[in-house]
Structure 1
Amino acid sequence: MTTRPGLDPELATLLGALPQAPPLSAETLDLIRSYAVVPASTALAGHDVDRRDVTLTAADGGSVGLTVLSPTGSDGEGTRGGAPCIYWVHGGGMVMGDRFSQIDIPLEWLARFGAVVVTIDYRLAPQVGGTTLVEDCYAGLVWTAEHAAELGIDPQRIVVAGTSAGGGLAAGTVLLARDRRGPAVAGQVLACAMLDHRNDTGSSHQFDGPGVWSREANAFGWRCVLQGEADVSAYVSPALAADLSGLPPTYVDAGTAEVLRDEDVTYATRIWAAGGQAELHVWAGGCHGFDALFPGARLSAVAREARTRWLDRLLVPSEQP
């Protein structure tokens, strides 16, 4: 058996208490999808937000939903003419989840910064594939920027953020925005991001077999997206992008005990090599998505606060002496 970095003891205990899910496959996907969806009323319970649901027409004519969440009673008049915006892209291996998945993460930033959260319900593989998922996400970003004044958003403080598959789609969306000279993006947050369809890093080989997100599950998710295509777009698999220059400030994090660790580290390293700014955190003992799964764990609290402090430096103007 391949030697692996060990799990944080608290996370190991919490994981051991979870019921064992069946391996992800075409046969089990519908069942696992049903576990992954949290009702909006549950996801938003205890948060003081105003909610607006919108349906967009995607590039291929399909319908894509998004939800705008604003601090209750906010009038959009913050410093610099509007509130910061978190454009949220949910996780789920590109095959499951919805716009309210992991929504507690950006809702912390709504409460902390008075941010408007826009969360996209991109269509899932295998029902769609190729560039469709990232094009859905890009369409939502364009809509957000075009409606910034109406939503009370400062268009110069839009951050694209996502976790797991959402982190990969966030990276692809930001690449599209750069290459199409689209909406200005102030920063991107890529948490345990699914960036490389090749699934052939050292960490991908370390974490085969049962786990929160394994090499086998990763391969299944990518097969559902790529659907046999030989010519894979860098907007779908951002690790393929030949040029990572011109990207906004980037926050990348992952755990040491997860399959996506090495592709995330490599992406941050390549941003530095291209002259960009990236902050990288690799959390010792963290499994895939640990801070979303177990927000009350000590390691999760530290990881979440580190992201929030980075956003504070990015979004909140420093007071000049």
Structure 2
Amino acid sequence: MSNAKTAPAPPPFEPELAAALPKFASFAPVNMTADQIEKYRAMPAPSIADQIGGRPVQCIDFTLPGYQGVDMAVSVISRKDHAKPGPGIYHIHGGGMVMADRFAGASDLVAWAMKFDAVCVTVEYRRAPENPDPIPVEDCYAGLEWMATHAEELRVNPERIVLFGGSCGGGLSAGTALLARDRQGPKLLGQLLQCPMIDDRNQTVSSYQFQGTGIWDRISNLTGWTALLGDRRGTDDVSIYAAPARALDLSGLPPTFIDVGSAEVFRDEAVAYASAIWAAGGDAELHVWGGAFHGFSQMAPDAAISRAANATREAWLERLLSR
């Protein structure tokens, strides 16, 4: 298969999501090329103040050394009355390796700070193409180490840190978990990977099925991976930390939750990653939401399937944190 014309027909979108899709046309990255990255970066997004709203939650910024000692920001989101050590959630935002900031998707962190009294750290890793691999994943690992090292002052139980990320944030979370395993770094209680971007090779059936349709299609995905890896994309010169789907050994990972839509580019690589964890004797829970496009549960949160997906994800986290 060399182009979209020879690709198999994609599965249909779930009707409620299909009806919502046209309203995203003006800002959804479809057929995104490198010259359009700045356009998508400039699109407005909810501020952290908007996402907190009137809830008794605070957001405190810190500056710490990222990869090779370069300063980067993290924000700590917690209940204002948080007092005793509790669970920590380390968040890595999405954006195709090239867009968004640490507050993208932070509404989940605010909700979990309230519900679980969790302390949530979200990291401003440096984005491609200005900062190619290994900078983004190494920044993310540096932030995780900072969180674990400063657990006492953050009032986090260092044995109860969960990695959380969606899209490229899911891929960076998976890469960060592999780094933590291989470097005998911070111990992780779990990793929660939403529609993770983990395979630069783009040779799965689903990677060919979605071009010019849905959210984050094949062209956009190739653009994101090329920004991160340059000419190395698709070659043998790509590490498992940049593209975790390349890992041959997924043993020793924490309990893992993966969910993905059946109508998106990342479907098959997400399914394969869960299968590889099982094959290595690991603990993984996988959900494939029929007819769902990329990022559906955040973009169309009121759809019935989105409500089910968000409830399922939170229920897994609640079970994990109750152990």
TM surpasses 0.5: yes
1:50 aligns to what SS in structure 2?
Answer: strand
- Residue ranges of structure 1 left out of the alignment (5+ in a row): none
1:105 aligns to what SS in structure 2?
Answer: helix
Q: What residue number does 1:58 align with?
A: 66
* Amino acid in the other structure paired with 1:33: R
**Equivalent residue runs for 1:224-235 within 5 Å:** 224-229=227-232, 230=235, 231-235=237-241
Instruction: Output the TM-score relative to the length of structure 1.
Output: 0.94
Distance 1:112 1:189, change over 3 A: same
1:193 aligns to what SS in structure 2?
Answer: coil
User: Which deviations, in whole Å up to 9, do the C-alpha atoms of 1:69-127 show, x marking residues without a partner?
Assistant: 0112211x1xxxx2111101111001001000011123222222111111011110001
Distance 1:165 1:225, change over 3 A: same
Higher deviation after alignment, 136-145 or 56-65: 56-65
Structure-1 separation of matches of 2:137 and 2:24: 32
Give the deviation of 1:20 after TM superposition: 2.9
User: Which deviations, in whole Å up to 9, do the C-alpha atoms of 1:122-164 show, x marking residues without a partner?
Assistant: 1100010011100000000000001111111111110001000
Structure-1 separation of matches of 2:110 and 2:310: 12
Q: What residue number does 1:30 align with?
A: 38
2:183 counterpart of 1:180: yes
Q: What residue number does 1:292 align with?
A: 298
Distance 1:94 1:46, change over 3 A: farther
* Amino acid in the other structure paired with 2:79: P
Structure 1 contact 159–187 (Cα < 8 Å) conserved: yes
* Amino acid in the other structure paired with 1:38: P
Q: What residue number does 1:109 align with?
A: 112
Q: What residue number does 1:195 align with?
A: 198
Higher deviation after alignment, 14-23 or 116-125: 14-23
Give the deviation of 1:44 after TM superposition: 2.7
User: Which deviations, in whole Å up to 9, do the C-alpha atoms of 1:253-283 show, x marking residues without a partner?
Assistant: 1000000000000000000000000000001
Residue in structure 1 matching 2:262, options 234, 256, 265: 256
- Residue ranges of structure 2 left out of the alignment (5+ in a row): none
User: Which deviations, in whole Å up to 9, do the C-alpha atoms of 1:167-218 show, x marking residues without a partner?
Assistant: 0000000000000000000000010000000011010011112331101100
Instruction: Output the TM-score relative to the length of structure 2.
Output: 0.93
Aligned length: 312
Structure 1 contact 37–98 (Cα < 8 Å) conserved: no
**Equivalent residue runs for 1:164-175 within 5 Å:** 164-175=167-178
Higher deviation after alignment, 54-63 or 172-181: 54-63
Identical aligned residues as a percent: 47
Distance 1:202 1:36, change over 3 A: farther
RMSD of aligned Cα (Å): 1.4
Distance 1:36 1:184, change over 3 A: farther
Give the deviation of 1:299 after TM superposition: 0.9
Q: What residue number does 2:275 align with?
A: 269
Give the deviation of 1:51 after TM superposition: 1.6
